[in-house]
Amino acid sequence: PDPKYDSPLRKIQHWIFFIPFSFLFALWRVDTIKVIVEAVEQKRPGAKTELYALMAHYLVLLTVLPLNVWAPAVFFSGLLSAHIVTPTH
């Protein structure tokens, strides 16, 4: 792009790309919960089953892994996703 319209972050994007991707991965988890609750409220077929499965998933996840392990793992998963998505897209 034309340098006068270019973002200053472009010069360092290869150093910081993992930060937004990691937060995006965490945001996907929050959005999933919002979408499934909305689906249950709209009485979509199979929505309650999905909600129960998601609740069971998080129950097991938070029972087996303490929060101080689980939270960084979400961001680390985002980092791994960033390393896969960035070079392939």
Residues of the chain with pLDDT under 50: none
How much is the pLDDT for 31?
Answer: 95
How much is the pLDDT for 22?
Answer: 82
Cβ neighbours of 59 (radius 10 Å): 10
How much is the pLDDT for 17?
Answer: 77
Q: What is the residue whose two structure tokens read 């409220």? A: 41
Contact 65, 72 (CB under 8 A): no
How much is the pLDDT for 1?
Answer: 66
How much is the pLDDT for 10?
Answer: 79
CB contact set of 50 (below 8 Å; sequence gap of 6+): 36, 39
Q: Please state the pTM of the whole predicted model.
A: 0.69
How much is the pLDDT for 36?
Answer: 96
